[in-house]
Amino acid sequence: MSTDQLKQQQQGVKTLQAIQSEVENINRIALSVDCVIFGFDENKLKVLLIKSDLKKYLGKWSLLGDLVFPNEDLDAAAYRVLKQRTGLSDVFLEQVHTFGTVSRHPAGRVVTVAYYSLINVQHHKLNTLDNELHWHDVKSINNMAFDHQQIFDTCLKQLQKRVQEHPLGFNLLPRKFSLRELQNLYEAILDFKMDRRNFRKKFFSMDFLIDLKEMEQDVPHRPGKLYRFNFEKYEKKKKKFIGIDF
C-alpha cells in the first residue's frame, strides 16, 4: 500500500474501485417513492389513499408508493406511481423530503422519497373495481400506516407554504372556474377564511387570470364569471426568475 493510499484510507477517501465495490455489493438499500396526491372536490381538499394490506397495519390507510427500480430515475418512479393510480400524465409533482430512519418500514430497511402531486379530479376516474383506493378529506385523516402520517403532514405543510409563494392551486381546479371556487380552494388548503374583496384584488393584480366571458351554469344564485389560469404567462415569468428558486 502506497503512502498515498494509506493516507487516503486514514482519511476515509476511497478509490473508484472501492466505491464501485461498495455500490455493487455492500451498501445497497431499498428505495421507494411515496406520493401525496391532492385533489379538490366539493370544496374540500382531498388526498388519495389506499387501504394497507399488511397485517400489522390492517385497516389503516397509506400513501401510494412503490419501490424505485434500479434503472429508473427517481422522479420517473414517482410519475409511474401517479400514472398507475390515476391514469394521469403531465401533472404537477414536487419532491418534498426523504425519510430514512432504519426502523420506519416493517419489511426491512426502506428509505422513501416523498412527493406531493396536485391533480384535477375531473380529469381522472378511479378504477371502480379498485375499491381499495379512496379520496379522503385531509381534515379527517389521522393514524395512517407506517410513518405515512408524518409524511403526509410534511407534504401538506409544504403545499401550504408553496401555495402562498406561487399560484399552484390552479392545478387542482377544472380549466374553467369562478373566483369563488378559487377562494374556496385556497381556504381549504390553508384552513382559514379570507376576505373576499382582498382575495379578488390579489389574484387580479397577479394578472394570471383570463376572463372567459362566460358565466357559471346551474348555480342556485347569481352566477359568477368564469376564468382560466394563464399557465403560459406564468411559465414565462418563472423563466425570468430562474436562479431565485422560483
Partner DNA sequence: AATATAATGTGTTTAATTTACACATTAAAT
Partner DNA sequence: ATTTAATGTGTAAATTAAACACATTATATT
Instruction: Name which position in 126, 134, 224, 230 contacts DNA (CB under 7 A).
Output: 224
What is the spatial distance between Cα 161 and Cα 168, in angstroms, rounded to a whole number?
11
Q: Are strands 133-137 and 110-118 parallel, antiparallel or unpaired?
A: unpaired
Quick check: helix, strand or coil at residue 76? Answer: helix
Whose CA is closest to 48, among 69, 64, 33, 32? 64
What is the spatial distance between Cα 157 and Cα 217, in angstroms, rounded to a whole number?
34
> Closest separation between CB of residue 239 and DNA, Å?
21
> Closest separation between CB of residue 218 and DNA, Å?
8
Using an 8 Å Cβ cutoff, are 68 and 31 in contact?
yes
In the complex with DNA, the residue whose CB is nearer, 109 or 237, is 237
In the complex with DNA, the residue whose CB is nearer, 91 or 224, is 224
Site for DNA in 89-108 (CB under 7 A): none
Q: Is residue 125 near DNA by the rule CB under 7 A?
A: no
In the complex with DNA, the residue whose CB is nearer, 67 or 190, is 190
Residue 130 grid coordinates: 379498485
Contact footprint for a second copy (CB under 8 A)? 7-8, 11-16, 19-20, 22-24, 26-31, 50, 53-56, 66-75, 84, 95, 97-102, 105-111, 113, 127, 129-130, 132, 157-158, 160-161, 243-245
What is the spatial distance between Cα 163 and Cα 118, in angstroms, rounded to a whole number?
11
Pick the piece of the chain touching DNA (CB under 7 A) from 3-11, 124-132, 217-225, 237-245.
217-225
With CB cut-offs between 5 and 8 Å by kind, which of a second copy, DNA, none does residue 200 bind? DNA
Quick check: helix, strand or coil at residue 53? Answer: coil
Using an 8 Å Cβ cutoff, are 145 and 151 in contact?
no
What is the spatial distance between Cα 196 and Cα 34, in angstroms, rounded to a whole number?
36
With CB cut-offs between 5 and 8 Å by kind, which of DNA, a second copy, none does residue 187 bind? none
> Which residues form the interface with DNA (CB under 7 A)?
178-180, 195-198, 200-201, 215, 219-225
